[in-house]
Amino acid sequence: MIDLVPDFVTLRDDKTGEAQHIQVVQIWVDPKHPDAHRDPALRAYLERRAKENIIGLVRWSDTEAIALFPPELSANRQWNEKGSSMRTKGHTAEEKEAALGKMEIHFGP
């Protein structure tokens, strides 16, 4: 299921500590079908969103997720899945407004 509520992930440079917010589209996957995010139709949708600098955040639960970078946004020009699972936390409305207010938010394909 694709969550239409805009969200973001924060990438932090380990050396400098500099944080960068990246807009994401959340994809909720049934844990019984963990590879559902590899569906060609979903990948095509995420490739279109990559043109807006948006990546996928594949979630199996509130605390398990991977960032999914389409080829257009990957240095090696391939699909990249970052982390087998990552600890995630929800963002407050204020955090979303502060981070996403600086980004263009688009709805639709």
Q: Mind listing the pLDDT tens digit for each residue in 6-49?
A: 788 888 888 898 988 889 999 999 999 999 999 999 999 999 99
Residue 11 counted as domain residue? yes
pLDDT digits (tens, 9 = 90+) for 69-79: 999 998 899 99
| Calpha distance 91→93 (Å, rounded) | 7
pLDDT of residue 9: 83
pLDDT beyond 90 at 62: no
Residue 104 counted as domain residue? no
| Calpha distance 43→40 (Å, rounded) | 5
Q: Model-level pTM? A: 0.72
The total of structural domains in the chain comes to 1
Parent domain of 82: 2-88
Lowest model confidence (mean pLDDT) among 10-24, 47-61, 85-99: 85-99
Task: Please say whether the beta carbons of 29 and 60 come within 8 A.
Answer: yes
